[in-house]
Structure 1
């Protein structure tokens, strides 16, 4: 493991002026953070909840407590409505699935976060099989979700939104993040 487990969590450069580039960058960061979570599991199995593990657990929790909910809201406010607006039943089904994924991710995050909190607090020396499963289930939810968004949802929504809608999306993303 690297000297700091969270080295993989640095953000790709993307600004709110290009909201779809920002959504893609968020996915890259999610994937890095999920990779960190996987490395954290392996580290705890070998070294316990040492300071590196505690810091990594805090970093993963911070990302999924703060940035991930904003990202999901971006999608629900802008991407999913664009998928539903075209009248294509397959895209409407995809939008419903992605929205349901968000609810499942929220539920899985609650279980995963409880484990990470114990690591961060130093009260958990080793993961039991149930705790390992909660972390792995959380990670697995994102794999298919991100693939569907990157492969179909984002390109379709971006093609359907005109310049005014993209500007409104950007303004909304800025406002909710307190960016100027």
Structure 2
């Protein structure tokens, strides 16, 4: 029986460093994509058992909650700052990434149905090949998207956003997640 890992947030990422938070979210997304791939192998080898259902719940929880919040962080804070410069190449990559956010959201809806069926104990064996193809497509798109953000968007946004803008970004990210936070709290000696 395959055991799936318990996945935790990256240590040290906090709202006082919003870019670290965004990168930690990418790391978590990658762990969920790996878990999705492992789940496909597990289903082929062991079938739809309790471990598979738990992995499906973990993946669903991430892509239902953290994934959309992460995309919203980028859409609210990074993308507008970069497109406001009016540089055609930057605007083109931002528009591409925004389209990918929409595509990933649409693909997720179908994957979620797959995972819901698995959790509910209704995983039809004849669906595996089709489902696994969807999962692989989703993972490939997500990985390419992450790579573009980390190599093109995050470095440019880091240079563009000053400390005040980063503070506001971190505070707003915390508020949308229902966390009371202020940058000055991170500097308290406890």
Deviations 1:85-144 (A, max 9, x none): 222110000110111000000000011111111111111053432211111111111011
TM-score by length of 1: 0.95
Report the equivalent of 2:154. Answer: 154
Q: Whole-Å Cα distance in 1 between the matches of residues 109 and 145 of structure 2?
A: 18
Q: CA RMSD in A?
A: 1.2
Q: Whole-Å Cα distance in 1 between the matches of residues 42 and 69 of structure 2?
A: 29
Report the equivalent of 1:39. Answer: 38
| 1:179 equivalenced with 2:182 (yes/no) | no
Report the equivalent of 1:84. Answer: 83
Q: Any residues of structure 2 matched to 1:95-134 within 5 Å, and which? A: 95-126=94-125, 127-134=127-134
Structure 1 runs (4+) greater than 3 angstroms displaced:
none
| Gaps in structure 1 of 5+ consecutive residues | none
The count of aligned residue pairs is 178
| 1:164 equivalenced with 2:164 (yes/no) | yes
